Structure 1
Amino acid sequence: MGPSVRGPGLLLAMMALSWLGGAWAEGTCPFPDRLQYAELEESSRTMQSFPVGTTVSYVCRPGYMRIPGIPSSRTCSKDLQWLPTEQFCKERKCNHPGELVHGSVHVTDLAFGSEATFSCEEGFRLVGPDTVSCVIKNNGVDWNRDLPVCEAIACKPPPSIPHGSYTEADSYVYQMVVTYTCDQAPRGADPFSLIGPATIFCTSDEHSNGVWSEAPPQCRVVKCDDPRVENGKKKTGFGPHYSYRDSVTFECDPGYFMIGSDVITCGEDNTWSPTKPVCEKITAVVCSALKIKNGVVVPEKSVYEEGESVQIKCNAYCAFPGGAQDMTVTCQGQNTWSSLQDCTCEIKGSDSTPSINHGRVIDGQKPFYSVGDFITIECYSGYTLHGEARIQYVGENKWNPGVPTCQLSGYITAIICVIVAIVAFLAAFWVYKKFCSQNGSYTVDESCKETCILKTNVPAEMEETAQKN
């Protein structure tokens, strides 16, 4: 009897406990959410259950700070939600890095975890990190590394050269130009010639280290022999001796035609380049090489036989008067060609070399420039190049980068200023002594004071005009 009664009673008790347990479970909130910006206080972290009405408290995580007026606690509501849900901590912010002298600071946000990046202007390099992060530091937030600085890219002093010198300075920074000159040769000795670029400038490599744009020139004695052409004569370039870059122009005697270039130049190896031309006798069955302005000849030969034809092709943006860009001509003997014409060019070309005051073109000079042609410029002794030495023609009489200028070197300008100051001082002293002293004494009477004051403050030109009037 006992067991039969105990069985139903036990079953009822278990059902009751199960119902009570379900009701208890339905009246509790889940474990509080894990927040990115805050964490539970120690006392709240030890709780095992969260019935309706339970309150838990949070503290802001490192890198965050309380938002005034918003509670940092949440309560389990009747609908088993943790309320309120409003964010009560905000990210701490680092101070703005400030301005970077000769550089830029790139910041999108100053909040904890953000980054700032840095870059320098052309001619300067970054010393320090190019990126810093806003991190936790000393119970707050700050940048994780010292901020960088931009320092000027500097070059070591330029190389010295035998028998020459360069314009010296206290330091050599990015884009600074130095000019080399050769020493004066002893009396009676052959002069030195500057071989290579007269100016080089400080630039940078891929690692922002200061380097010179190219190797320095050399100062050497260059002598070429007196060139003579049989059955021809010089048109220009007469002289007792010839040194580096001296040029001579030839023409053939009547009845002869030229094979080769009519202009030769003395090179650094003491020889003429190109080789001297040859004057051949004109016969009934030959023609000399064609020289076409703004075009090329195919095939190109020094001598053509009677009846031989060649094709003339005009350069880019150029054409013959009728609009065609190529034509065929035939040697008729006696150095005569059929239908020979020159190519004319559109405005995209230029037939003028840029004018450089106190400077010259040392490489690439042509009677006509097409788009893409390069020239190299150097300044005369005592002047400094401002701009790029090598520039490219881009059409419509424009060069890229712009045509540089040659300006007086700093040390020459300083000398001129000193001389002008000395002359001005001596002139003022002479005026004072002449009009404001008596017998070598500098005692000035009342009648002289006003005149003296006026004369020492009026330019000499105005004084002379007043005396004439």
Structure 2
Amino acid sequence: MRPPSCSLARGPLLLTVLVLPWLGGTRAQDTCAPPERLTYAEPKEDISTMKDFPVGTTVSYTCRPGYVRILEKQLSRTCGKDLEWSPKEQFCTEMKCSHPGDLENGAVTVTDLKFGSKATFSCGAGFRLVGTSEATCIIVDKGVAWDRDLPFCQKIPCKPPPDIANGHHTEAAEYLYQTSVTYTCNDVPRGSDPFSLIGSATIVCTFNQDTLDGVWSGPPPECKVVKCTAPRVENGFRRSGLGFSFTYNDSVVFECNPGYFMVGSNVVTCTKDSTWFPPTPTCREVTESGCDAPKVTHGVVTPEKSVYATGESVQIRCTAPCTFPGGAEEMTATCQGQNTWSPLQDCACEAEGSGSTPHIHKGRVVDGQKPSYTVGDFITIECYAGYTLHGSARIQYIGGNQWAPEVPTCHLSAYITAIICVIVAIVVILAAFWIYKKFFSQNGSYTVDESCKETCILKSNVPAEMEELIQA
């Protein structure tokens, strides 16, 4: 049996043990936990060592760098009866940078002006950025500012255009994007063969999309002497281009004699290699069998051949937007022999602006002439006798009263010019000889007659015809 003193001593101790946790728990439930960390503000005093905050406790804050106080809002938070910190809404806001400004010949893209935002810079076509392509709004001292200066857009430059042999180009102070230069061939002494400009006469400064380096739109042209010999076709003749010598881009039109049909193109052009392209055609005798290639305006023939056997068929397809009468885009034609196709129709095209026949000085249209033209129509041009065609003899209407290639011109043939010069020279020589024989071929001494000094008439052993002329 335990002593009664022990029981009495344990009673108060057990009560204390049971009551103290209850009292301690009550105090913990009446305090707020430490306030959460704010990205936009920080406490004025160090509260990192404090664990409990009684109801009604107020913590004062100051805005962090890059943030500024929102007007009419307190820079503090209070532990409420609900043991939550209030207010919960933000009371500091990000500072804003001023707009970077406009970029001449470029663009500035800014999603926001708040602290930490970014601005990007870009240039328009033909310009490249000199400086940074991006800037950030950062903290500077007690405020904010952009960490980079505004760049500028520089017009992309090209290297000086290349020089060419036997020619020259226009000059410019500097060669920037969209600057164009034009090449011209040098003049030659009279009697020498002239230089022909081969290629595009004008090149333009453009740029490489990947590197933004300036590049020229194409290679420079070439100046060279081009001379094509007069072409001839057996069993045919030249309908235009009757000279003996031809230069670059001169054209000749051929025609076969009666009883013959042409195989190949009837128009050939002098190329930069002093050769004719396409090759000169041939004239074949018309026989009972066989057909030449069918000629269809605004259409394509398949298979494409120069000669077809009797009974052979081809597919003819109209080029858009043209169609055959009735709306069909394709038809089959068969060679009937004697260069006859059946059925054979031309493709009809809706008018896209009618054009008129171009005026050819000293020349005329010999094939394809119409009161008006639709896009895709062809005409063939020849010069009058004694004139040479400069340009393509076969041109196509492209709309807007424009033709491609350009309408050719007719120039007096070199041999005709030479004949005229010789005739003029002979006439001048004969006239000079007649004057000399008429008035100055007789010998004699000329003296001044004393009676006519004032009128300065020379008198001597002068022919009677001269004396009559003087008296007159």
Alignment of 1:67-466 (within 5 A): 67-206=70-209, 207-347=211-351
Paired with 1:350 and 1:191, the residues of 2 have a C-alpha distance of 39
Paired with 1:205 and 1:276, the residues of 2 have a C-alpha distance of 42
Map Cα deviations across residues 382-411 of structure 1 (whole Å, 9 max, x no partner).
xxxxxxxxxxx9x98799xxxxxxxxxxxx
Distance 1:23 1:321, change over 3 A: same
Contact 1:155-1:210 at 8 Å conserved across structures: yes
Map Cα deviations across residues 294-343 of structure 1 (whole Å, 9 max, x no partner).
11222222222333333322222222223322333333333233333211
Paired with 1:305 and 1:4, the residues of 2 have a C-alpha distance of 138
- Answer yes or no: is 1:47 the counterpart of 2:50: yes
Contact 1:195-1:268 at 8 Å conserved across structures: yes
Match for 2:153: what amino acid?
Answer: C
- Answer yes or no: is 1:31 the counterpart of 2:34: yes
- Residue 281 of structure 1 and its aligned partner are, at CA, apart by 1.2
- Residue 352 of structure 1 and its aligned partner are, at CA, apart by 5.9
Match for 1:346: what amino acid?
Answer: E
Contact 1:107-1:116 at 8 Å conserved across structures: yes
Contact 1:44-1:57 at 8 Å conserved across structures: no
Map Cα deviations across residues 62-120 of structure 1 (whole Å, 9 max, x no partner).
21012344221222223322233343211111111011111222223211111112222
Contact 1:294-1:368 at 8 Å conserved across structures: no
Instruction: Give the root-mean-square deviation of aligned CA atoms.
Output: 2.6
Map Cα deviations across residues 214-262 of structure 1 (whole Å, 9 max, x no partner).
1111111111111111111111222231111111110011111101000
Contact 2:288-2:337 at 8 Å conserved across structures: yes
Paired with 2:70 and 2:252, the residues of 1 have a C-alpha distance of 88
- Residue 11 of structure 1 and its aligned partner are, at CA, apart by 1.5
Q: Determine which structure has more spread, i.e. the larger CA radius of gyration.
A: 2
Q: What is the TM-score when the length of structure 2 is the normalising length? A: 0.71
Paired with 1:5 and 1:180, the residues of 2 have a C-alpha distance of 125
Match for 2:340: what amino acid?
Answer: T
Distance 1:26 1:310, change over 3 A: closer
Match for 1:167: what amino acid?
Answer: T
328-337 or 19-28: bigger deviation: 328-337
Paired with 1:242 and 1:261, the residues of 2 have a C-alpha distance of 18
Match for 2:95: what amino acid?
Answer: R
Match for 2:148: what amino acid?
Answer: R
Distance 1:368 1:247, change over 3 A: farther
Paired with 2:353 and 2:301, the residues of 1 have a C-alpha distance of 21
Paired with 1:223 and 1:217, the residues of 2 have a C-alpha distance of 18
Map Cα deviations across residues 43-72 of structure 1 (whole Å, 9 max, x no partner).
333433211222212121121012344221
Match for 1:269: what amino acid?
Answer: D
Q: Counterpart of 1:311 in 2: which secondary structure?
A: strand
Q: Counterpart of 1:105 in 2: which secondary structure?
A: strand
Paired with 1:35 and 1:221, the residues of 2 have a C-alpha distance of 84
Q: Could you list the runs of 5+ residues in structure 1 that have no partner in the other structure? A: 356-366, 371-392, 400-469
Contact 1:53-1:77 at 8 Å conserved across structures: yes
- Residue 183 of structure 1 and its aligned partner are, at CA, apart by 0.9
- Residue 179 of structure 1 and its aligned partner are, at CA, apart by 1.1
Distance 1:332 1:16, change over 3 A: closer
Map Cα deviations across residues 415-454 of structure 1 (whole Å, 9 max, x no partner).
xxxxxxxxxxxxxxxxxxxxxxxxxxxxxxxxxxxxxxxx
Q: What is the TM-score when the length of structure 1 is the normalising length? A: 0.72
Contact 1:287-1:306 at 8 Å conserved across structures: yes
Distance 1:69 1:316, change over 3 A: closer
Map Cα deviations across residues 153-175 of structure 1 (whole Å, 9 max, x no partner).
22121111111111111012222
Q: Counterpart of 1:19 in 2: which secondary structure?
A: helix
